[in-house]
């Protein structure tokens, strides 16, 4: 088996997805805003990243429940963060990011007859970042208090709700506010009670989560060339597949995509959850960082001598993606619960058929890649070429790389007694290599740790002296990542 070049794999993936008919499944949710004549509800957005405490209200009658990566986001859904951060990815790779203690509603997710989308996001509190792609025709409405702004393509903003006022920083723009065009690198403050006109400041102040937002936007931009090769409106998620895996020539099985660090015994449906959506039924949700597109399009196949691999083909499946599960292979059936959740019961049914394997920090200055993890626990875009480490894992079982954790200077108030609070930890980022004592870097770990449980939904980040970096994923079944040693600078 030989790895196919990145260019060939990218072209193969994009061409096959472009050739397929991709109808998504309606969610049955009624619009909160006035519906657009001729528009449809054929939309499905995804929760593309979860770090720490994140909850979602999916209109199941159970209120807010723990959320996880790759949870579908539908119209009239609500999302909130506690000591955690979350990213939502739209079909064209545009993103919405929430800092801790924030909440948003999705009152409108529609598709026009032309294929363009209309998205309205209502920020109820906290801090939200919006980064829009250059897609022409799509509409994005930002709601907060009595305000409603139509954001144009290639806009990047930060919105902070502060009591009776809101501060909107134009990171890239411009943004049209009434008859005024606010250029980038300016901040406009709104009086939410309407007693005074908006005011414009000629600067953008640094905030603790700007670095996380910038790193995340950079990750999407670097991988955007994958989606650019396909004109399908369902190209989101391909960037994660390009980073976390590659296509392989599997002989008689043909070309198959496999995640790095999978191992022959890895199973794509051993770990995950069934999430209930009223009007849509159960949806399989994968915890893997790349686990969006391969569970809504194409199918999995067991190839003798290699293991499970994914092949594109067929139609796009929205909420009801159970068809992809039962087609996973001969004798391999993972079926959803046979009835809707009972009143008062959890609306997410966790599946743990075998213990999950994590790649993670095992020392405060070292990251370990493990066979069978299939990318679980590996931060997005931070550790370089994963194919190189995957080959090492195939030869030796594990691979390691030196890392350090950086924290922006604006997050320093989150430190107390040399320990980093859970909220401040979410602003940190992991980097391959050794720390440089400049730019707010607390090198080589800094004494932070992470705990979490997939069975409980979102993980929880907590400070602990001499712990790991906290950048690994929350453990399946209440597991945790921790290690001693290390020191901060």
Please tell me whether residues 271 and 326 are part of one structural domain.
yes
Residue-by-residue DSSP string for 356-423? ----EEEETTEEEEETT-TTTTPPTT-SS-HHHHHHHHHHHSEEEEEEEEE--GGGGGGEETTEE-HH
Q: Is residue 152 part of a domain?
A: yes
- The residue out of 295, 325, 352 marking a domain boundary is 352
* CA triple 428-431-432, angle to 5 deg: 160
Please tell me whether residues 250 and 141 are part of one structural domain.
no
Q: Is residue 376 part of a domain?
A: yes
Q: What is the distance between the alpha carbons of residues 57 and 67, in angstroms, rounded to a whole number? A: 9
| Number of domains observed in the structure of the chain | 3
CB-based burial of residue 341 (10 Å sphere; 0-12 exposed, 13-18 middle, 19+ buried)?
A: middle
- CA torsion, ordered 149, 72, 257, 313, to nearest 10 deg: -90
Strand bridging mode 117-131 / 139-144: parallel
**301, β-bridge pairs:** 309
Identify the domain containing residue 81 by its residue range.
33-215
Strand bridging mode 415-416 / 398-406: unpaired
Which 3 state secondary structure label does DSSP give 80? Answer: strand
Q: Is residue 455 part of a domain?
A: yes
Please tell me whether residues 163 and 95 are part of one structural domain.
yes
Q: Is residue 63 part of a domain?
A: yes
- The residue out of 352, 381, 398 marking a domain boundary is 352
Q: Is residue 16 part of a domain?
A: no
Please tell me whether residues 309 and 364 are part of one structural domain.
no
- Cβ neighbours of 410 (radius 10 Å): 17
Q: Is residue 21 part of a domain?
A: no
Q: Is residue 388 part of a domain?
A: yes
Please tell me whether residues 372 and 346 are part of one structural domain.
no
Please tell me whether residues 42 and 181 are part of one structural domain.
yes
Please tell me whether residues 242 and 385 are part of one structural domain.
no
Please tell me whether residues 172 and 206 are part of one structural domain.
yes
Q: Mind listing the pLDDT tens digit of every residue in the chain (489 residues)?
A: 444 444 444 444 443 443 333 333 333 333 335 556 555 666 889 999 999 999 999 999 999 999 999 999 999 999 999 999 999 999 989 999 999 999 999 999 999 888 889 999 999 999 999 999 988 899 999 999 999 999 999 999 999 999 999 999 999 989 999 888 999 999 999 999 888 899 999 999 999 899 899 999 988 887 655 544 444 556 688 889 999 999 999 888 899 999 999 988 899 999 999 999 998 999 999 999 999 999 998 889 888 888 899 998 888 888 988 877 765 555 566 789 989 999 889 999 999 988 999 999 887 789 999 999 999 999 998 898 999 999 999 999 999 999 988 776 666 555 555 566 666 677 777 888 886 544 444 443 333 333 333 433 333 322 222 222 233 333 333 333 333 233 333
Please tell me whether residues 308 and 445 are part of one structural domain.
no
Which 3 state secondary structure label does DSSP give 281? Answer: strand
- 359 near 378, Cβ under 8 Å? yes
- CA torsion, ordered 469, 470, 474, 477, to nearest 10 deg: 70
- 60 near 78, Cβ under 8 Å? no
**473, β-bridge pairs:** none
Q: What is the distance between the alpha carbons of residues 167 and 172, in angstroms, rounded to a whole number? A: 15
Q: Is residue 180 part of a domain?
A: yes
Helix/strand number for the chain, H first, E second: 6, 31
Residues 269-320: pLDDT tens digits?
A: 999 999 999 989 999 999 999 999 999 988 898 888 888 999 988 888 889 8
Please tell me whether residues 367 and 320 are part of one structural domain.
no
Please tell me whether residues 154 and 170 are part of one structural domain.
yes
Residue-by-residue DSSP string for 89-142? E-TTS-EEEE-SS-EEEEEEEEE-TTS-EEEEEEEEEEEEEEE----SS-EEEE
399 Cβ contact partners less than 8 Å away, ≥ 6 residues apart: 368, 369, 389, 390, 392, 393
Which of 391, 457, 478 has the alpha carbon at shortest distance from 3? 391
Please tell me whether residues 243 and 285 are part of one structural domain.
yes
- The residue out of 162, 185, 215 marking a domain boundary is 215
Q: What is the distance between the alpha carbons of residues 334 and 326, in angstroms, rounded to a whole number? A: 6
Q: What is the distance between the alpha carbons of residues 390 and 393, in angstroms, rounded to a whole number? A: 5
């Amino acid at each position: 088996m030989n790895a196919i070049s990145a260019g060939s794999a990218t072209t193969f993936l994009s061409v096959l997805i472009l050739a397929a008919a991709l109808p998504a499944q309606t969610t049955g949710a009624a619009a909160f805003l006035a519906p657009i004549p001729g528009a449809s509800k054929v939309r499905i957005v995804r929760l593309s990243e979860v770090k720490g405490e994140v909850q979602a209200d999916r209109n199941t009658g159970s209120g807010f429940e723990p959320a996880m990566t790759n949870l579908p986001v539908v119209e009239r859904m609500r999302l909130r963060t506690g000591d955690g951060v979350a990213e939502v990815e739209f079909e064209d790779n545009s993103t919405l990011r929430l800092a801790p203690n924030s909440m948003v509603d999705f009152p409108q997710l529609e598709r026009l007859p032309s294929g363009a989308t209309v998205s309205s996001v209502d920020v109820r509190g906290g801090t939200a970042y919006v980064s829009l792609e250059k897609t022409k025709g799509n509409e994005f409405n930002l709601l907060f208090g009595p305000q409603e702004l139509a954001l144009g393509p290639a806009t990047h903003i930060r919105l902070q709700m502060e009591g009776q006022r809101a501060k909107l920083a134009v990171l890239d723009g411009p943004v049209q506010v009434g008859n005024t065009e606010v250029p980038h690198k300016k901040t406009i403050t709104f009086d939410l009670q309407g007693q005074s006109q908006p005011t414009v400041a000629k600067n953008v102040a640094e905030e603790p989560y700007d670095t996380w937002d910038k790193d995340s936007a950079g990750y999407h931009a670097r991988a955007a060339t994958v989606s650019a090769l396909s004109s399908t409106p369902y190209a989101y998620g391909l960037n994660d597949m390009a980073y976390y895996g590659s296509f392989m020539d599997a002989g008689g099985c043909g070309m198959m995509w496999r995640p790095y660090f999978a191992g022959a015994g890895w199973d794509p449906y051993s770990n995950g959850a069934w999430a209930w959506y009223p009007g849509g039924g159960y949806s399989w949700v994968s915890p893997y960082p790349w686990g969006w597109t391969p569970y809504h399009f194409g199918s999995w196949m067991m190839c003798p001598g290699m293991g499970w691999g994914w092949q594109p083909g067929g139609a796009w499946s929205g909420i009801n993606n159970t068809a992809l599960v039962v087609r996973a292979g001969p004798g391999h059936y993972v079926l959803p619960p046979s009835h809707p959740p009972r009143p008062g019961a959890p609306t997410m049914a966790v599946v743990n058929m075998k213990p999950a394997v994590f790649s993670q920090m095992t020392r405060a200055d070292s990251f370990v890649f493990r066979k069978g993890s299939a990318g679980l626990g590996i931060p997005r875009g931070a550790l370089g070429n994963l194919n190189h480490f995957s080959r090492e894992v195939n030869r030796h079982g594990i691979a390691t790389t030196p890392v350090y954790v950086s924290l922006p200077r604006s997050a320093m108030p989150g430190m107390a007694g040399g320990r980093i609070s859970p909220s401040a930890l979410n602003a940190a980022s992991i980097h391959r290599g050794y720390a440089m004592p400049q730019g707010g870097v607390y090198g080589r770990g800094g004494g932070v740790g992470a705990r979490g449980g997939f069975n409980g939904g979102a993980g929880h980040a907590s400070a602990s002296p001499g712990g790991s970096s906290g950048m690994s994923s929350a453990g399946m079944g209440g597991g945790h990542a921790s290690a001693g040693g290390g020191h901060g600078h």
